Amino acid sequence: MEFETLLLEVEGPRATLRFNRPEKKNAMNPRMHLDMNLALDQIEAEPDVKVLVITGTGNSFSAGMDLEECFLQPYEDPQLFYRTNLVALKWFQRLKAFPIVTIAQVNGYAFGGGFEVTGLCDLAIAAENVKFGLSEINFGIFPAGGATWAVTHNMPRKQALHYILTGDTLTGREAEQYGLVNRAVPAEDLEAEVDKLVGKIINKNPVTLRLAKEVYEGTTMMDLPRAIDYDQAKLWELARLTSDEWINVALKQFEKRSYQPGLATYKRPEAADDAQRSA
């Protein structure tokens, strides 16, 4: 499927989605919000995809909501304004709960919605020279549509409030220091660093990856006894859905001392089949 505002590439276990309005610094207009919903549908329907990388074309990740098309133009028509922005809120929520691992590969500018997407992804790698910002205060509102949530759930209180209240920008390096991104690297190394991270994830069992995310999200809202009860139930779900791969394959390989789980991952039957096929 082709999109007016996005580029989607699916290559085996990896999908790469690029915001693609470089002439507007990849600002998210209503068409992009619709396209994001369609693209997420398509990616979710791909049975082999385990990782989604989100990035931007040109010199920007995303300058956030398109201030003209999303706010100025529809504002006089409350219904239109509501519908326009509801589409955005839909895919933001969906991204947060997406059943495969999501990685933000952040380049250039990441303001407002771009900052939010970084926070909503599971993992994020940024170029050191990225300019992140919650510029909302600079045009008279506060970060809405989940942006405040994304900041409070990724950064310590003082830093979060500093950027919410001042509209100051922060670099990729500062974002790493405050926990908004996992790592900041020189811009020329950004793709290679993300490729490395993708490489670590795609050799894991996809059901385990999905359930690990569910257990993380689910248990953040529970006390310890409930969390243990919940993760035990999820462990049985995992066992059933993976035909006990952790016992039958992973721990059998450990028993034979063919790998050290502390330092590496087991060889999945799927990977062994691939090796056999290519031999």
Report the interface residues with ligand COA, using CB under 6 A. Answer: 24-25, 27, 63-68, 109, 111-113, 135-136
φ, ψ (nearest 5 deg) of residue 96: -60, -35
Q: Which is nearer to ligand COA, 59 or 243 (CB)?
A: 59
Beta strands 109-111 and 169-171 are unpaired
Q: How far apart are CA 74 and CA 7, in angstroms?
A: 26
Q: State the residue number with the nearest CB to ligand COA.
A: 112
If the CB atoms of residues 65 and 125 are measured against ligand COA, the closer one turns out to be 65
CB of 148 to ligand COA, least distance (A): 12
In terms of CB distance, is 3 or 111 closer to ligand COA?
111
For residue 5, which of 122, 98, 91 has the smallest C-alpha distance?
Answer: 91
Interatomic CA distance for residues 51 and 191, integer angstroms: 15
Q: 67 or 241: whose CB is closer to ligand COA?
A: 67
Q: Shortest approach of ligand COA to residue 89 CB, angstroms?
A: 13
Report how far residue 91's alpha carbon sits from residue 117's, in angstroms, rounded to the nearest whole number: 10
Produce one character per residue of 215-236: b if its CB has 16 or more CB atoms within 10 Å, e if not: beeebeeeeeeeeeebbeebee
Alpha carbon distance 276, 270 (integer Å): 10
Minimum CB separation of residue 88 from ligand COA in Å reads 10
When the beta carbons of 7 and 137 are compared against ligand COA, the nearer one is 137
Question: CB of residue 141 vs ligand COA: minimum separation in angstroms?
Answer: 8
Complex with ligand COA: residue 30 or 112, whichever CB lies closer: 112
Residue 215 C-beta: closest distance to ligand COA, Å: 32
Smallest gap, in angstroms, from Cβ of residue 158 to ligand COA? 22
CA 114 to chain centre: 11
For every residue of 78-110, DSSP letters joined together read HHHHHHHHHHHHHHHHHHHT-SSEEEEEE-BEE
